[in-house]
């Protein structure tokens, strides 16, 4: 059950899971507050509710903590996206619903998105690649919804572009909050983004109908 990419000297798998959950919970808050580099392992241990020695029983390096945190965020986001997107019905309106839900999700996990967004670069190369694969997977989900919901066929590239745009517009809500959240409420933001998104994917023929 616990992430096998991170080695632990403890054997008991359930315990590993438990301790790592504590760890992730403690670390996220810290990473949000002060960033990965300015957070010390001692602070992480304390926020997790155990000693520095114990912390190192469940990870090998500080970067492991970051990896666990980022990975857990990705998992949670992905999980929720999957719940939103697995509609059978494929239509413009279901597409709109999915996009709206995605924006709501991002709003809900603003801080986590921020961490995911800013600290991935601090991961070691291999962990970074692993994480980017996950992100690809998430974009792919958006791609699928888009491709399936439009009444006409778009090129693979166009689908990818639109999916990336939506994906990043979601993230923007978080990382440009200092600007956007002064001008928009979540609802108006969603409303206008969806509005322009729809216009950009409307077929001319449809419009006239």
Instruction: Give the interface with a second copy as residue ranges (CB under 8 A).
Output: 35, 37, 118, 121-122, 132, 135-136, 139, 157-158, 160-162, 164-165, 168-169, 172, 176, 178-180, 183-184, 188-189, 192-193, 196-197, 199-202, 204, 207-208
d(CA 12, CA 124): 27
> How would you class 178 by CB atoms within 10 Å of its CB: exposed for 0-12, middle for 13-18, buried for 19 or more?
exposed
108 contact choice in DNA, a second copy, none (CB below 5 to 8 Å, kind-dependent): none
CB 189 within 8 A of CB 173: yes
Helices (H), the chain: 13-38, 41-48, 52-58, 62-85, 92-108, 110-119, 125-149, 156-175, 177-183, 186-201, 204-208
Separation between Cα atoms, residue 9 and residue 62, nearest integer Å? 15
One of 3, 56, 87, 165 touching DNA (CB under 7 A)? 56
Subset of residues 24 to 43 that bind DNA, contact rule: CB under 7 A: 38-42
Q: How far apart are CA 128 and CA 70, in angstroms?
A: 10
Q: How far is the CB of 21 from a second copy (least distance, A)?
A: 26
Tell me the window of 60-68, 88-96, 165-173, 183-191 that interacts with DNA (CB under 7 A). 60-68
At its nearest, how many Å lie between a second copy and the CB of residue 165? 7
The residues in 4-23 that bind DNA, with binding defined as CB under 7 A, are 9-12, 15, 19
> Is the CB of 88 or the CB of 178 nearer to a second copy?
178
Interatomic CA distance for residues 128 and 56, integer angstroms: 21
47 touches DNA (CB under 7 A): no
Q: Which residues bind DNA (CB under 7 A)?
A: 9-12, 15, 19, 38-42, 50-54, 56-57, 60-63
């Amino acid at each position: 059950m616990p992430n096998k990419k991170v080695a632990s000297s403890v054997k008991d798998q359930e315990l590993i899971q438990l301790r790592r959950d504590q760890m992730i919970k403690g670390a996220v808050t810290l990473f949000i507050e002060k960033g990965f580099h300015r957070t010390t392992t001692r602070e992480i241990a304390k926020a997790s509710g155990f000693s520095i020695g114990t912390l190192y029983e469940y990870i090998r390096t500080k970067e492991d903590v970051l990896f666990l945190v980022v990975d857990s965020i990705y998992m949670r986001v992905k999980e929720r996206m999957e719940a939103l997107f697995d509609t059978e019905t494929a239509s413009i309106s279901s597409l709109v619903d999915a996009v709206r839900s995605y924006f709501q999700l991002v709003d809900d996990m603003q801080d986590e998105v921020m961490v995911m967004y800013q600290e991935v670069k601090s991961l070691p190369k291999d962990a970074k690649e692993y994480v980017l694969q996950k992100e690809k997977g998430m974009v792919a989900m958006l791609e699928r919804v888009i491709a399936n919901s439009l009444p006409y066929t778009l090129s693979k590239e166009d689908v990818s572009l639109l999916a990336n745009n939506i994906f990043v517009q979601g993230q923007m809500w978080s990382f440009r909050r200092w600007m956007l959240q002064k001008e928009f409420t979540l609802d108006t933001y969603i409303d206008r983004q969806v509005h322009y998104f729809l216009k950009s994917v409307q077929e001319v023929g449809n419009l006239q109908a």
